[in-house]
Each structure stands twice: as C-alpha cells, then as structure tokens.
C-alpha cells in the first residue's frame, strides 16, 4: 500500500488512467448469509464488514473503460464471483470483455480465478 501513491503519480505523468472502484458491495460475513449492503469510497467500509464486490457505479465505469479500449489484459475477478450476491462485478465485466473482443479488441485473460470465472 505504501507504493500506491507513487504508482498513481507515475501513471498520471504517463497519461495512463487507473480506474479504481468508487462503490462496493459489502457483507458482515464471508458468505451470502451476512448483512449485505452497498457503500461508497467516501463512506468507507465500516468495521465488521468486508468488501466482496464492486458496486453499480464501479461496474459502469469498468464496462465503459473496456468498450473504449483497444487492448484488454484482465487478471483477477472483481469480486467473489463464486457467490451469486457478489458476482455482478465479474460477470458484467466478462460480458463487456466478450462484446469488446467480438468487436475486434485484443484480449488477454490471465490468472486461474479469471479463467474460471469466464467458463
């Protein structure tokens, strides 16, 4: 986490946009039986909760970025896609990547979890 500001600064100098989530789906348990709600970057994730997927605004931002891309390198799911309540970020991103690829965008999918999510 200490190098994040350095990475963001370098990206800005090079004109590279790094898209980070602005909202989250959170739960009081690692599972679908906890208290599940949404929060924003500004509000933060309260004590006793964990972020398990990106929220609707982040999903929209990611899909827009994919559709504007010429090359996509996707390594890692957006959330805990194995649980239905936390799969939206990954599944929506996958749909956008498929659509972009069908339109001629070069796509590379890496990582075991990402490949599993795309099955």
Tell me the pLDDT tens digit for each residue of 62-79.
Answer: 999 999 999 999 988 999
Round the average pLDDT of the chain to a whole number and report it: 93
Whether the predicted model's global pTM rises above the 0.75 cut:
yes
Residue 53 makes CB contacts below 8 A (sequence gap 6+) with: 24, 25, 78, 79, 80, 85, 86, 87, 88, 89, 90
Partners of residue 27 on adjacent β-strands? 36, 50
Closest of 113, 36, 45, 42 to residue 82, by C-alpha: 113
Report the alpha-carbon angle 12-14-17, nearest 5.
50
**pLDDT digit string (tens) for 82-119?**
999 999 999 999 999 999 999 999 999 887 788 788 77
**pLDDT digit string (tens) for 26-76?**
999 999 999 999 999 999 999 999 999 999 999 999 999 999 999 999 988
């Amino acid at each position: 986490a200490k190098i994040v500001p350095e990475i963001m600064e370098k990206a800005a100098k090079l004109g590279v946009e790094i898209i980070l989530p602005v909202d989250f789906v959170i739960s009081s348990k690692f599972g679908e039986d906890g208290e599940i709600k949404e929060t924003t970057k500004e509000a933060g994730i309260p004590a006793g909760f964990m972020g398990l997927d990106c929220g609707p605004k982040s999903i929209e931002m990611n899909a827009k970025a994919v559709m504007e891309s010429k090359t996509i390198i996707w390594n890692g799911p957006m959330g805990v896609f194995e649980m239905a309540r936390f799969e939206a970020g990954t599944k929506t991103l996958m749909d956008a990547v498929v659509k972009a690829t069908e339109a001629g965008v070069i796509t590379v999918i890496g990582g075991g979890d990402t490949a599993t999510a795309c099955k």
